[in-house]
Structure 1
Amino acid sequence: MKAMVLAAGRGERMGALTRDEPKPLLDIGGERLIERQLRLLANAGIDEVVINLSYRGGAIREFLGATSRWGQSIVYSEEGEPALETGGGIIAALALLGSAPFIAVNADIVTDFDYSQLRRDGVDALLVLVPNPAHHPQGDFGLEASGLVTAEPPFLTFSGISMLSPALFDGIEPGRRRLRPILESAIAQGRVEGVVHEGLWHDIGTPQRLAEARQLVDALG
C-alpha cells in the first residue's frame, strides 16, 4: 500500500510562522510535522509515499529529498499555486498512487493513530473520526454501529486520516476541488466506512493550537 501526505496548504492562519517556512516543516518535539507522519507510516509498513507540494514546496523537497530517513521512497506531486485543495490534489496525484487503495493523511496533525488499521475491502473510503475538538464542536460525519459513515447526527470530526480507493474519484474532472463533496457523494451511496480514534490527535490550524501541541508532546516525552 502507498500513502499520500497532503502538504500543499498555505497555512494562512499561522501568520508569521509560515511566512518563510511551509507548515509541514514546523517543529514539534524535535521533529518536523511531516516527519512525524512519515515515521508513523513507516511503522505501519508503508515504504512508498507521494507528497503534494505548492506553497514553498521546494523547501519540503529540499528537506526530505527522495528517500525518508526511514527508507521510504518519496515522489512529489507539484501543484503550483494556488494549491488544488485536498480533492484536486489527490486527483492530480492518482497516476503516482496507482490502482490500489492508498492512505491519505494531512501533514499538519499530531497523532498516535496506528496506520496499519487502514485496510478495508469493498469500500471507497475508510475515514478515521475523532471526538469533536473545542475548535470544531459541530463535527463532520455520523457513524453507525455497523461502521458505516452517514450524514446523520451525532457527528464526529474527520481527522484528516483515511484510506481511499481510486474509484472514489471516478468521473471527476481534474482541477481545484474540495474532498468533502466527493466523500459526501460516496457516503450517500453507502460506500464509506469509519473507525473512531480516541487517542492523541491534534490539528495544527493556528499558532495557539501549535503551542498546545508542543506542550502536549513535551509532556508525553
Structure 2
Amino acid sequence: MKAMILAAGRGERMRPLTDTTPKPLLKAAGKELIVWHLEKLAKNGFKEIVINIAHLGDQIPQVLGDGSRWGVNISYSDEQDTGALESAGGIKKALTLLDKEPFLVVNGDVFCEYDFDPDFDLQNKLAHLILVPNPSHNEKGDFGLENSLVLNQDNEMWTFSGIAYYNPEIFNDLKLEKSALAPLLRNLIEQQQVSGEIFKGLWRDIGTPERLQEINEILTTSS
C-alpha cells in the first residue's frame, strides 16, 4: 500500500509562520511535522509515499529529497502552477502516482501516534476513516460511528482525524480542479460505503501557532 501526505495548503491560520515556511515544515520538538509522519510511515512498513506541494512547495523536496534517509521513496505531486487543489482535488491529481490499489492519506498538519497499517483491508467499503474525540476547536464533531459504520449524524459525534484509507475509484469521476473532501465523503456515507474506527491516543490538529506551541510542550515534556 502507498501513502499520501497532504502538504499543499496555504496555512492561513498559521500566519505569519507560513508566510515563509510551508506548514508541514514547521517544527514540533525540533523536527518538521512532515518528518514525524515519514518516520512513522517508515516504521510501520510503508515504502512508497506521495506528497502534494503548492504553497512554497519547492522547500519541501529541498528538505526531504527522495526519502532515502528514511528508507522510503518519495514522489511529489506538484500543484504550484494551479494553486492548491484542496484535499479531494489534490488526491485526484496524484492518482497516477498512487496506482490502482487502495492507499492511505494523512494530513500533513496533524500530529498523531496512530499506527498506519500498510496491510489494511477495506473489505467491501470504499473508505475507512480514523476518528478521534472532539477537540475544543471542533466540539460538535464531524461524524458518528455505529457498528464500525460512519454516519453523517448520530447522538455521539467524533472528529475526523485527517487520516483515512481510500479506494481510488472514489476519485475517478472527479474533475481535476479545486475540490473539498467532505462533500464526497458525506455522499459515500449516505450510501453506507464508509467504515471507521476511534483512535483515543495522542492526536492534534496543528492549525494555529497556539496548537503548535501546545504539541511542542507535550513532546518536549514526554521526551
**TM superposition score normalised by structure 1:** 0.96
Structure 1, unaligned stretches of length 5 or more? none
Q: Following TM superposition, by how much is the alpha carbon of 1:168 offset from its aligned partner in structure 2, in angstroms?
A: 1.4
Q: Following TM superposition, by how much is the alpha carbon of 1:141 offset from its aligned partner in structure 2, in angstroms?
A: 0.6
Paired residues of 1:143 and 1:194 also in contact (CA < 8 A): yes
Query: What is the aligned partner in structure 2 of residue 86 from structure 1?
Result: 87
Letter in 2 for 1:69: R
Structure 2, unaligned stretches of length 5 or more? none
Paired residues of 1:148 and 1:193 also in contact (CA < 8 A): yes
Matched, 1:8 2:2: no
Paired residues of 1:86 and 1:177 also in contact (CA < 8 A): yes
Query: What is the aligned partner in structure 1 of residue 37 from structure 2?
Result: 37
Q: Output one character per residue of 1:8-42: Cα deviation in whole Å (capped at 9) or x when no partner.
A: 01111111111111111111112110000111111
Q: Output one character per residue of 1:119-176: Cα deviation in whole Å (capped at 9) or x when no partner.
A: 12221111000000001101101100x2000112221000000111102123222211
Backbone CA RMSD of aligned residues: 1.2
Q: Output one character per residue of 1:44-85: Cα deviation in whole Å (capped at 9) or x when no partner.
A: 110000000000010001111112421100010001252000
Structure 1 runs of 4+ with >2 Å offset: none
Query: What is the aligned partner in structure 1 of residue 174 from structure 2?
Result: 172
Query: What is the aligned partner in structure 1 of residue 55 from structure 2?
Result: 55
Q: Following TM superposition, by how much is the alpha carbon of 1:206 offset from its aligned partner in structure 2, in angstroms?
A: 0.5
Paired residues of 1:118 and 1:163 also in contact (CA < 8 A): no
Letter in 1 for 2:115: D
Distance 2:150 2:119 in 1: 15
Letter in 2 for 1:92: K
Query: What is the aligned partner in structure 2 of residue 96 from structure 1?
Result: 97
Letter in 2 for 1:87: A
Query: What is the aligned partner in structure 1 of residue 184 from structure 2?
Result: 182
Paired residues of 1:130 and 1:158 also in contact (CA < 8 A): yes
SS at match of 1:172: coil
Query: What is the aligned partner in structure 2 of residue 143 from structure 1?
Result: 145
Q: In percent, how many aligned pairs have the same letter?
A: 45
Q: Following TM superposition, by how much is the alpha carbon of 1:184 offset from its aligned partner in structure 2, in angstroms?
A: 0.8
Paired residues of 1:103 and 1:118 also in contact (CA < 8 A): no
Distance 1:100 1:116 in 2: 14
**TM superposition score normalised by structure 2:** 0.96
Letter in 2 for 1:27: K
Paired residues of 2:40 and 2:116 also in contact (CA < 8 A): yes
Q: Following TM superposition, by how much is the alpha carbon of 1:118 offset from its aligned partner in structure 2, in angstroms?
A: 6.9
Paired residues of 1:38 and 1:68 also in contact (CA < 8 A): no
Paired residues of 1:118 and 1:162 also in contact (CA < 8 A): no
SS at match of 2:138: coil
Letter in 1 for 2:151: T
Letter in 2 for 1:119: F
* Residue 220 (structure 2) aligned to one of 215, 218, 221: 218
**1:138–1:196 Cα change, 3 Å:** same
* Corresponding residue pairs, total: 220
Distance 2:53 2:29 in 1: 24
Distance 2:68 2:141 in 1: 34
Q: Output one character per residue of 1:177-217: Cα deviation in whole Å (capped at 9) or x when no partner.
A: 00001111111111100010000001100011111110011
